[in-house]
Structure 1
Amino acid sequence: MNRWTWLAGLLGLIAVLALVLHQDVGAILAAVQHAGWALLWLLPFHLVPLWLDVLGWRVLLAPRDPEGRAGVAVLLWIAAIREAFNRLLPVANIGGEIVGIRLVKRRGVDGAAATASIVLEVLLTLVNQYLFTALGVVLLIAITRQVGALDSLLFALLASLPLPLGLFWLVRHGQLFARLESVAERILGGRTRLTELINGQRLDQDIRALSTPRWRLLAAGGWQLAGFVVGSLETWLALRLLGFQVSVWDAIAIEAVTQALRHLIFIVPAGLGVQEGGLVLFGSLIGVPVEASLALSLVKRLREIGFGVPALVSWYWVEVRQVRQRPQRQPQ
C-alpha cells in the first residue's frame, strides 16, 4: 500500500467518524439492534447477484473451456475471492482480477483464455456500471422530481458513455495488448519475462474469439446487468430489516448512484467515507433519515466482512496447500 492509499484511507476513516459522531450514535445502533439476527439473511442473499454475474462470466469463458473445468460453482467461489480482494484490501480494484486469473488457470484453463475472459468481463462491467448509474439517476429524478443537478449529472453520464464503449471497441478490435507488448519491449530493450507474460498477440486473439459471436457479449452483459439490479435489493432488504420502509425503486436508485461513486473514487481503501457519504447524500434526497443511511452502511460493511473474510481464508488455504505440495512434485 503506497502512502497516497494510506492517506486516502485515513481521510476516509476520518470522514466516517465525523459523520457518525455528528449524528445520534444511539439511533444508529438501535436500528441495527432492531434488525437483530435477521441481518444474517444478507449473507446467502448476496450469492444471488454474484451467481448472476458468474453466469455472464461463464458464457464468455465457455468457448475455451468446453469441458467445464471452471464451471459455475468454481467460478462462483473465485468471484467471491475476487470481490473480497477488491472490497476489503487496498488493491485498487485490480488485485482480485489477478488472483482470479491465477485460480482459473489452476483449473486447467489456458492462461491467455482466462485473462481474456476477465478482461472482457471487466469491460462489460464498466459499460453496465454506466447503464446502471444512468438508471439510478433517472429514478432519482422521477422520485424527487428534481431536475437541476441530477439532470446535468445524467447528461454528463450519457455524454461520457462513448468512452467505455470506445475502450471496449479498442480492446476487441485494436490489438491493444500486442501494441502494449511492443511498447514494453522498446522500453525494456527487448523480450523480457514481463513481455512474455503479456503475450499480447495471443491475448488479443483470445479476446476476439471469446467475444464472437456478438450474442455472447449480449448474453454476458445481460446477466451482469441483472446482477446489478438484483444486488440493489440488498439495500431494500437491509433498510426494511432496520425498520425503514422504502420501495424497490428507491433502493435501486440509492444503490446505483452510491456504487458509481465508490467505483469512481476507487483509490480510497474499502470506499471508507465514500460509501457513507453517498448513502447519506442520495438517501436524503428520497427521504431516508441520515441515521438510517449510516446504519445501512454499517450493515453493508458487516456483510462484506462476513462474506469476504471466509472467501479470503479459503484462498489462503489453497495457496498454502499449493506451496506445501510443490516440493513433493520436484524430482529427487
Structure 2
Amino acid sequence: MKRLVVLGGMAGLLLLTALVLYEGWPAIVAAFRRAGWPLLWLVPFHVVPLLFDTQAWLVLLEPINRAGHASYGFLLWVASVREAVARLLPSVGIGGEVVGIRLVRLRLSDSTAIAATIIVEVMVTITVLYVFSGVGLLLIVHLASELGHVWLIAASLLLTLPLPLLAYWMLRRGSVFARLQDLAARLLGKRSQIALRLDAVGLDAQVAHLFDQPRRLLRALGWQFPGYLIGSFETWFALDLLGHPVDITAAVAIEALTQATRHAAFLVPAGLGVQEAAVVLFGYLAGVGGDVALSLALVKRMRETLFGVPALLSWQWVETRQLRARRAGN
C-alpha cells in the first residue's frame, strides 16, 4: 500500500508540473495578481460548509451523546482536523477517520459506537457525492459544447455505482468486521493485539443499528448535501476574482465533478495533480480557459493549506498535552 501511495504521489506531482508547464506560469501568476488579497476570504468562508458536515455527524452521534459531552464546537474542530489529515497528509483516505475516532474519545468513551458513526457517515458522504455529481453532470450537459467527455464522465459514474451499493450491503448484512477479526486471529494468533482490541461483533451491530434508522440517515444526508452546494461558492467567488466570472450553475458543475474525481483518486496523496487536472477539465467543459482553471485549482490548494495547517497544529498540540498528562499520571 505504501508503494502505491508513493507512486500515486509521484504521478500526481508529475501531472501537476505538466499542467503548469502547459498552461504557462506567467499567465497563472497574472491571474493571481488580478485577483489579489480578497482570495484570502475563502479561508474563513470554508467554515460554513464544514458547519453542515458537523451537524450531519452530530445527528449520527445523538444516541451516544445525549449528555452533550461532545459539543458542537468540539466536533467542528474534530471535523476540521479530519479534513486536514485527509487532504494534506498521505493517509490513503482513512487517516482522517482514524484521527476522528481518537479525538472524539476525549469526550465520549464508547470507541465502537464512535467508529460506527464515522463509518456510516462515510457512506452518507458517498451517497451525497453521487447525488451532487449527478447534479453537476446534468448542469455540465447544458454548458459543454463537446459532449464526448460528458458521456465518458456519466459512464464512469454509472460503472462505479455498484461499489458503494456492495459496500452498503456488506456493512449491513456481511458482518465485515467480525470476518476481519477472524482473519486477524488466524493470521496473527488469537492473542494478537489486533484480534484483542477489535470489538468486531459490536462494531457490526452498531453499524447495522444505524442503518436501521432511515430517518436519522436522511437527516444526516439533508445536512450534508446543502453543505456541498454552499461549497460551490468557493469556485464562483474565485473565478470572479480571477477575471472569468461564471453563473452559479457552472460553479456547481465544476465543484461537483471535481469533488467526485478527488474522492475517487484516494490513493494519490492529497489528490495532488488529480484535483488540478479535474478542475482544468471541467472548467474547460464549462467554458473557462485553461490558465484561469488551473489558477482556480491552485487557489483551492492554497485554501486547503491555509485552513488545514492550523488544524493539524492544533491536533498535535492536543496530542502533546495528552502525552504529558499520561506521563505525569505514571
Q: Name the TM-score class by shorter chain.
A: over 0.9
Q: How does 1:261-280 map to 2 (within 5 A)?
A: 261-280=261-280
Partner of 1:168: 168
Query: In the alignment, does 2:21 pair up with 1:24?
Result: no
What is the letter of the counterpart of residue 311 of structure 1? A
Partner of 1:94: 94
> What CA RMSD, in Å, does the superposition of the two structures yield over aligned residues?
1.8
What is the letter of the counterpart of residue 236 of structure 2? W
Distance 2:15 2:203 in 1: 42
How far apart are 1:149 and its partner, in Å?
4.2
- What does the per-residue CA deviation read over 1:247-267, in whole Å, with 9 as the maximum and x for residues that have no partner? 111011111112211222222
Contact 1:65 1:109 in 2 (8 A): no
Distance 1:197 1:296 in 2: 45
- What does the per-residue CA deviation read over 1:72-116, in whole Å, with 9 as the maximum and x for residues that have no partner? 211110011011111111111111110100000111241011100
Structure 1 residue runs without a partner (length 5+): none
Partner of 2:60: 60
- What does the per-residue CA deviation read over 1:125-145, in whole Å, with 9 as the maximum and x for residues that have no partner? 112222211221111112226
Partner of 2:229: 229
Distance 2:16 2:146 in 1: 27
Partner of 2:241: 241
Partner of 1:83: 83
SS at match of 1:69: coil
Partner of 1:4: 4
Partner of 1:209: 209
SS at match of 2:40: helix
- What does the per-residue CA deviation read over 1:140-171, in whole Å, with 9 as the maximum and x for residues that have no partner? 11222654442353244235424312322321
Contact 1:138 1:154 in 2 (8 A): no
Partner of 2:306: 306
SS at match of 1:157: helix
Distance 1:63 1:192, change over 3 A: same
Partner of 1:198: 198
Does 297-306 or 267-276 show the bigger shift? 267-276
Structure 2 residue runs without a partner (length 5+): none
- What does the per-residue CA deviation read over 1:204-263, in whole Å, with 9 as the maximum and x for residues that have no partner? 222233344210001111211222211122111111122211111101111111221122
Distance 1:176 1:212, change over 3 A: same
Partner of 1:135: 135
Distance 1:189 1:157, change over 3 A: same
**What count of residue pairs does the alignment treat as equivalent?**
330
Partner of 1:323: 323
Distance 2:318 2:146 in 1: 51
Contact 1:57 1:121 in 2 (8 A): yes
Distance 2:98 2:57 in 1: 15
The percent identity for this pair of structures is 48
How far apart are 1:31 and its partner, in Å?
1.5
Contact 2:144 2:287 in 1 (8 A): no
Distance 1:232 1:196, change over 3 A: farther
Contact 2:141 2:150 in 1 (8 A): yes
Distance 1:301 1:157 in 2: 25
Q: Report the TM-score when normalising by structure 1.
A: 0.94
